[in-house]
């Protein structure tokens, strides 16, 4: 059978350097899907990098307006091919067609592309800074090499390497992209890359603006992210794979932005249980089971005081969770990964409350699971008990005192999010003040009275956090334009003659509306 | 003899874990200076980290205004102790007392501290971003661990680990600092740390806000920069030491900002030589010899067309350089380092024009040196011919065509700066347009008609650049407030109750003047 073509240097071609092949699986049936994909060798990867370098050169003559048009055309193309994309993603991921794929994730994805287009056109993202007395001017610009994007398995559109948040941010900042498909949904990724490439052609972008590969042997992937001619890498996926790529990229001096793992602790303080235990139990289980628990922001750890109200709350959680249908996981690794994490938890003192077993059936599934552990046991082995179970599996930690709860917060590793639920009348405020400062510095996004699973695409979002949730505490993977700064270099112009300056740094505001910091004042005006 | 005390947890104390000792040298006499310093073992380093963590906790109750007062008091203290500081730095570095130390570098240093104070007080640096519809708010905040600063040998005040740019940026962003003295000027660093600690006490800062060590064994230094409880590291120094620290910090998931090496290429296009060859030769030699060539932005490579005007220009350069006195280098490693680089250049085709020998005498010195190489030879071994010679040693590259000059620009590694000198009437503009785009993406600061050795402390400055000049192309080590963002984490608040928000994110503008991005509009107003 013919292998699926890769997108390389402006053409859908058979791979030349093939180092094996693979199929994707339908997780709902465990059956192989019909398409066969090449595992790419180094020669084709290097050809992609060379073509991307040519795109970097051609991009110097491409305006922000043209990049915006490309992103918007791509968004239109995705919406036009919605039925096909939903059909394929459902086969490859077992995620629900409606509302999840068709009405939530797909519109979110095209919306992200349009937000990126708006940011590219607006130009404020580049933080143009002008000091008139010294005639020194600076802004962020493209990296000078392609951005390599590795997408995760859990969001086939919104974090897709050929259409998702990293892709949109990299393109809007003026870089070409080399997309590495997640191997659990390669055909969805191919459809998206087709839609992207159609937009490349329709809007006169450099032909290697978007390229696609499906898989490489590990050593070739390490060469890719550390290659002297790439700009940076965006990776969303497992800590294991992320850390290997990070080591290679770091050694090559190449920026890599990783979103790796997070257990998103939720602190439920006593006063809120007194107020609305039942509603909160329902809210928590709804968040835990969203996407069969396979969200980066899934609540993996819940911290409670060890008292009667918490025992009752646990009982409610267990009942609601047991009554929920067990979802289908994204792949064969799902049940094994959850079982492994539960085993690690149990070895360090955790006990099963409900669930805990793989589910027999046509698809990959695991029973909705709750476990519990004492605060003392958690503090004895905080790292093992923060092992991520990527699915519906949450660990309840019972603290014996407010001070122990603070210590638990202090043993939390870097996470994407941390939540505090408290009494609406202020009864928990003293405990909040004890715990919040400790938690604050360990999480990217701190929430009150809200589950972490919703990630709004707004400028103030931080979908990031301290290591090991990500590789750098200063950057976010979601939220435009902030996410674009990951894929930009700071370009200073010192005494450069006026007509040679980029438009964003000339005296006259190039759009009449972009924000610039001129002599320490943010303004939309001219110099 | 008693070892010099370290500053640890709010006290000047004898080191407890001593792993050897060392003396500094007077580079003008090669004589050891009278003070003996401890090489610190791991136990004291860990004690410092623990104390700094306590300072992190105490800093939560310290206002930006107090931090600003600390920085200003410290600046005052430095100026009050000017005579003592100039005397000591001159002994330890052989840099001139006037104007260099007393009237240039010292005021620059106190000015940087005052700029950092202004930025801390102003608060605009934290990029407060508020989206009212989603009630999500974000800003940059401190890292949750101390910043470790390694200062270089060439600026005993302005980049000093206990007073320089990294120190000022880290403190202004709200972090405590662990300063690691450069071992070539430990007593100057101790005096600065005394002035800092006096300010700590006078302004009620946490007692471990500033701590000082002089040296560790290499493995202890690697443990320090990768320690789970530190926030980040700022390093200015050699590529060799920087890359070792980077590998350790990267493996520990800790941000490290490095300013390592740069040869700062200068492209002299034909039309400017026709206009002002003599003046340019004088300007170039003045820049090359500043600080005996030991500036990060020293012009190490000059690219010219291989024509009669360039030969004549070379002759002028050689005459001016030979007529200049040979300066004193910062230490014993100076002459050896230059000789090594010259040997590498010669092995790859470069020829001596003038200089090229160590200078006998009481101090460490090397003759002012020019070498030359063909464009073809440079392109055959670009990496070897970009070996940094830290001193007055510049390599002239003779290109045989405009296209070869473009290729040379394309073989330049990541650098802090790149300059283009061109004809004032536009005669070189075609060549400029050929070379600039290639050079632009390889340098942090691009200059026209100006030598790179002046580094203005303004918001638009980029004292940074692509690897291996630094470790990340998006950050600058000079220029406030941008340099502060290296030492900050992005803190998002999602649905957090109004009274629990930090002042910078509450509806009311806390200063009445800080800039915030509210619903995508930069404003000094309230929500």
User: For chain B, which residues make up each domain, given as ranges?
Assistant: 6-22+32-260+475-485, 266-448
pTM for the model stands at: 0.97
Active site residues of A: 259, 296
d(CA A185, CA A198) in angstroms, rounded, equals 20
The H or E element containing residue B25 is strand B18-26
Sort out which chain A residues have CB atoms less than 8 A from B472's CB and list them.
Answer: 255
Cβ <8 Å between B446 and A250: no
Q: Write out pLDDT tens, residues A377-417.
A: 999 999 999 999 999 999 999 999 999 999 999 999 999 99
**Which residues of B are catalytically annotated?**
259, 296
Mean pLDDT by 10 residues, chain B (527 residues): 93 95 97 97 98 97 97 98 98 97 98 98 98 98 98 97 98 98 98 98 98 97 98 96 98 97 96 97 97 95 98 98 96 94 98 97 96 98 95 98 98 97 97 97 98 95 97 96 98 98 98 98 98
User: Chain-wide mean pLDDT for chain A?
Assistant: 97
| The CATH number of the domain covering residues in A6-22+40-260+475-485 | 3.40.605.10
pLDDT at A1 over 80: no
Q: Rounded to whole angstroms, what are the CA distances from B39 to B14, B192, B220? A: 11, 19, 10
Provide the pLDDT for residue B117.
98
- A136–B456 CB contact, under 8 Å: yes
Q: Tell me what pLDDT residue B261 has.
A: 86
Q: Work out the minimum CA distance from B218 to partner chain A, whole angstroms.
A: 19
Out of A460, A482, A500, whose CB is closest to B448?
Answer: A500
Planar angle of CA A317, A321, A325, nearest 5 degrees? 165
pLDDT of residue B331: 93
What sign for the dihedral angle of Cα A267, A279, A446, A432? negative
Q: What are phi and psi of A409, to 5 degrees?
A: -55, -35
**Quick one: which of B400, B327, B419 has its CA closest to B369?**
B327
**Token code pair at residue B74:** 């410290």
Interface test with A, best of B458, B466, B472, B505 (most A CBs within 10 A): B458
CB burial string A362-373: b at 16+ within 10 A, e below:
ebbbbbbbbbbb
Q: What pairing do the DSSP bridges indicate for beta strands B393-399 and B369-374?
A: parallel
Using an 8 Å CB-CB cutoff, list chain B residues near A493.
445-446
Cite the beta strand spans of B142-189 per DSSP E: 147-150, 177-180
Local structure of residue A290 (DSSP, 8 states)? G
Sort strands A489-494 and A351-354 into parallel, antiparallel or unpaired: unpaired
Residue A233 belongs to what H/E stretch? strand A232-236
Neighboring chain A residues of B254 at a CB cutoff of 8 Å:
467
Residue among A290, A293, A81, A294 nearest A187 (CA): A81
From chain A, pick out residues whose CB is under 8 angstroms from the CB of B468: 253
**CATH architecture observed for domain B266-448:** 3-Layer(aba) Sandwich (3.40)
Candidates A490, A491, A495, A497: best to mutate against B (most CBs of B within 10 A) is A490
Shortest Cα–Cα distance, B213 to chain A (Å): 26
Residue of B nearest to A505 (CA): B460
CATH of B6-22+32-260+475-485, one of 3.30.420.40, 3.40.605.10, 3.40.50.10420, 3.30.365.10: 3.40.605.10
Token pair, residue A524, equals 């939309």
What residue in B sits closest to A258 (Cα-Cα)?
B253
When CB atoms are compared, the residue of A134, A472, A495 closest to B449 is A495
With pLDDT > 70 as the criterion, what percentage of chain A qualifies?
100
Considering only alpha carbons, which residue of chain B is nearest residue A124? B520
Q: What is the ipTM of this complex?
A: 0.97
Report DSSP state, residue A295.
-
Let me know how long chain A is. 527
Q: How far, in Å, are A109, A173, B430 from residue A180 at the CA level? A: 18, 19, 39
**Alpha-carbon torsion, ordered A321, A322, A326, A327, to 10 deg:** -10
Q: How many Cβ pairs within 8 Å bridge chains A and B? A: 193
The CA distances from residue A110 to A88, A122, A152, A157, A169, in Å, are: 17, 18, 18, 9, 13
pLDDT digits (tens, 9 = 90+) for B414-444: 999 999 999 999 999 999 999 999 999 999 9
Token pair recorded at residue B404: 């070869």
In this structure, the strands spanning B215-216 and B31-40 are parallel
In angstroms, what separates the C-alpha of A240 from chain B's closest C-alpha?
Answer: 13
**pLDDT value at residue A261:** 86
Render pLDDT for A331-379 as a digit per residue (tens, 0 to 9).
989 999 999 999 999 999 999 999 999 999 999 999 999 999 999 999 9
Confidence band of A487 (pLDDT split at 50, 70, 90): very high
Q: How many CB atoms lie within 10 A of CB A71?
A: 28
Considering only CB atoms, B129 lies closest to which of A254, A459, A495, namely A459
Does the bond joining A10 to the residue before it have cis omega, within 30 degrees of 0? Answer: no
Chain A's closest residue to B492, CA to CA, is A445
State the smallest CA–CA distance between residue A474 and chain B in angstroms: 5
3-class DSSP state for residue A451?
Answer: coil
Going by C-alpha positions, the residue among A417, A268, A293, A266 that lies closest to residue A355 is A293
* Distance of alpha carbon B71 from alpha carbon B49, whole angstroms: 22
Q: What pLDDT sits at residue B1?
A: 60
């Amino acid at each position: 059978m013919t292998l699926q073509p890769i997108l390389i240097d402006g053409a859908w071609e058979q791979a030349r350097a093939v180092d094996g092949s693979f199929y994707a699986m339908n997780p709902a049936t465990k059956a192989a899907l019909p398409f066969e994909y090449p595992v790419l060798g180094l020669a084709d990867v290097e050809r992609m990098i060379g073509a991307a370098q040519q795109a970097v050169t051609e991009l110097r003559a491409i305006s922000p307006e043209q990049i915006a048009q490309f992103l918007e055309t791509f968004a239109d193309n995705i919406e036009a091919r919605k039925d096909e994309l939903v059909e394929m993603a459902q086969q490859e991921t077992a995620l629900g067609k409606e509302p999840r794929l068709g009405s939530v994730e797909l519109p979110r994805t095209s919306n992200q592309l349009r937000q990126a287009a708006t940011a590219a056109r607006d130009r404020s993202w580049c933080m143009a800074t002008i000091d008139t007395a010294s005639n020194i001017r600076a802004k962020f610009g493209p990296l000078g090499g392609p951005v390599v994007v590795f997408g995760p398995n859990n969001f086939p559109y919104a974090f897709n390497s050929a259409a998702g948040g990293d892709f949109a941010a990299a393109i809007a900042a003026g870089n070409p992209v080399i997309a590495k498909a997640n191997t659990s949904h390669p055909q969805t990724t191919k459809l998206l890359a087709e839609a992207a490439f159609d937009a490349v052609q329709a809007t006169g972008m450099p032909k290697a603006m978007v390229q696609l590969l499906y898989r490489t042997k590990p050593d070739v992937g390490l060469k890719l992210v550390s290659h002297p001619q790439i700009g940076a890498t965006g990776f969303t996926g497992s800590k294991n794979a992320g850390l290997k790529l990070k080591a290679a990229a770091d050694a090559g001096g190449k920026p890599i932005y990783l979103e790796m793992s997070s257990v998103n602790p939720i602190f439920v303080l006593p006063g809120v249980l007194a107020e609305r235990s039942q509603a909160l139990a329902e809210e928590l289980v709804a968040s835990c089971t969203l996407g069969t628990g396979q969200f980066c922001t899934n609540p993996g750890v819940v911290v409670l005081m060890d008292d009667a109200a918490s025992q009752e709350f646990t009982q409610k959680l267990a009942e609601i969770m047991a009554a929920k249908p067990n979802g289908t996981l994204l792949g064969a690794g799902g049940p094994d990964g959850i079982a492994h994490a539960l085993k690690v938890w149990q070895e360090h003192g955790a006990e099963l409350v409900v669930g805990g077993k793989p589910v027999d059936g046509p698809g990959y599934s695991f029973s909705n699971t709750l476990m519990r552990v004492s605060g003392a046991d958690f503090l004895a082995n905080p790292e093992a008990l923060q092992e991520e179970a990527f699915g519906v599996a949450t660990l309840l930690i019972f603290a014996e005192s407010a001070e122990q709860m603070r210590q638990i917060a202090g043993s939390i590793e870097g996470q994407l999010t941390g939540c505090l639920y408290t009494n609406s009348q202020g009864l928990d405020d003293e405990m909040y003040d004890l715990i919040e400062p400790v938690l604050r510095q360990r999480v990217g996004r701190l929430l009150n009275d809200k589950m972490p699973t919703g990630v709004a695409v707004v400028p103030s979002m931080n979908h990031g956090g301290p290591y090991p949730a990500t590789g750098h505490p200063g950057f976010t993977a979601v939220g435009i334009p902030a996410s674009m700064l990951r894929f930009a270099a700071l370009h200073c112009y010192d005494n450069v003659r006026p007509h040679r300056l980029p438009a964003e740094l000339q005296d006259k505001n190039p759009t009449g509306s972009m924000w610039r910091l001129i002599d320490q004042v943010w303004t939309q005006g001219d110099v």
